[in-house]
């Protein structure tokens, strides 16, 4: 199963290296990892999707929590969240086919952000399933290049409630 962990980490040199090193040496399997700034200047936020077939999510979260620059880890897998993944997709297209791509994009609330003679770049934001859906539709037309950011997640509702409801990263049993 896949678990989504949100970690608040101190914005220091080498933090990503520490997290990556932990996952490597413990043989935890990362599906995706994103890192970015937060509302607090000294704190960065990582969203880590981890495959827990071999190791329990509680062990992964507790191991992360042991890293000194990691301030907090919450497993948001079973919480209501807003999940977003962003993809840029370069699709082969002739000028005649552009309209078709554009209408597909409309359905997915995606946008064409660059147009060239034989291709366009499509930008899509959404949860991973939605992005997967568009990718599958575009694939037969010829995806020349693609990049996805990986998932970022935020728990829905008021912040205070979120904190109160969030399960301990490490349950007692």
Partner 1 sequence: MQRTGAQIVWESLVKEGVTTVFGYPGGAILPTYDAMLDYPVHHVLVRHEQGAAHMADGYARASGKVGVAIATSGPGATNLTTGIATAMLDSSPTVFITGQVSSKVLGSDAFQETDVTGITLPITKHNSLVTDVRHIARTMREAFVIARSGRPGPVLVDITKDAQQAKTDFVYPETVHLPGLHEPEPPDAASLARAAELIEKAERPLILAGAGVIRSGSSQALIEFAEKAQVPVALTLLGIGGFPQSHPLCLGMMGMHGEAFVNSAIQRADLLLAFGMRFDDRVTGNLKTYALHAKKIHVEIDASEIGKNVKVDVALVSDLLAALKALGPIVPKKRHDAWLGEIQAGRDETRSRDIIHKESDGQLLAPHVMHDLWKTTGGGSVIVTDVGQHQMWEAQYYKHDEPRTLITSGGLGTMGFALPAAIGAKFARPDAEVWVVAGDGGFQMTQCELATLQQEKLDIKIAVINNGFLGMVRQWQEFFHDKRYAATPMLSPDYVKLAGAYDIPAHRVRSRGDVAPVVQQARETKGPVLIEFQVEKEEAVYPMVPAGSDLHAMIRRPSEENAEVRS
CA torsion, ordered 70, 75, 77, 78, to nearest 10 deg: -150
Give the residue carrying structure tokens 């699709």: 91
Give Cα separations from 100 to 94, 95, 172 (angstroms): 10, 10, 54
Give the residue carrying structure tokens 């509680």: 58
SS3 percent helix, strand, coil of the chain, rounded to 5, is 35, 40, 30
Query: Which of 29, 58, 77, 149 is close enough to bind partner 1 by CB under 8 A?
Result: 58
Note whether 167 binds partner 1 by CB under 8 A: no
Note whether 71 binds partner 1 by CB under 8 A: yes
Sheet with 29-37, edge to edge strand ranges: 29-37, 43-51, 2-10, 70-75
Note whether 67 binds partner 1 by CB under 8 A: yes
Tokens of 107: 């359905």
Query: Which of 1, 27, 41, 66 is close enough to bind partner 1 by CB under 8 A?
Result: 66
Q: How far is the CB of 70 from partner 1 (least distance, A)?
A: 5
Which residue number, 24 or 156, has a Cβ lying nearer to partner 1?
24
Note whether 44 binds partner 1 by CB under 8 A: no
Q: How far is the CB of 2 from partner 1 (least distance, A)?
A: 18
Stretch that binds partner 1, among 58-66, 84-92, 121-129, 137-145 (CB under 8 A): 58-66
Query: Which of 47, 63, 81, 119 is close enough to bind partner 1 by CB under 8 A?
Result: 63
The alpha-helical segments, DSSP class H, found in the chain are 15-25, 57-66, 98-108, 128-142, 159-165
Note whether 95 binds partner 1 by CB under 8 A: no
Q: In the stretch 12-41, what mask flags binding to partner 1 with x, by CB under 8 A?
A: --x--xx--x---x----------------
Give Cα separations from 22 to 63, 66, 125, 165 (angstroms): 8, 10, 30, 28
Q: Where along the sequence are the contacts to partner 1 (CB under 8 A)?
A: 9-10, 14, 17-18, 21, 25, 56, 58-59, 62-63, 65-72, 170, 172-173
């Amino acid at each position: 199963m896949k678990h989504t962990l949100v970690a608040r980490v101190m914005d220091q040199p080498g933090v990503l290296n520490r997290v990556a090193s932990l996952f490597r040496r413990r043989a935890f399997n990362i599906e995706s990892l994103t890192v970015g700034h937060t509302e607090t200047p000294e704190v960065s936020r990582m969203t880590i999707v981890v495959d827990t077939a071999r190791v329990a999510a509680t062990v992964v979260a507790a191991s992360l929590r042991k890293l000194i620059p990691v301030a907090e880890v919450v497993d948001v897998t079973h919480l209501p969240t807003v999940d977003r993944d962003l993809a840029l997709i370069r699709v082969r297209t002739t000028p005649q086919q552009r309209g078709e791509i554009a209408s597909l994009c409309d359905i997915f609330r995606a946008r064409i952000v660059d147009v060239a003679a034989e291709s366009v770049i499509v930008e899509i934001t959404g949860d991973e399933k939605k992005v997967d859906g568009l990718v599958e539709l575009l694939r037969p037309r010829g995806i020349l290049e693609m990049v996805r950011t990986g998932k970022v997640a935020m728990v829905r509702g008021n912040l205070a409630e979120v904190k109160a409801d969030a399960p301990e990263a490490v349950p007692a049993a």
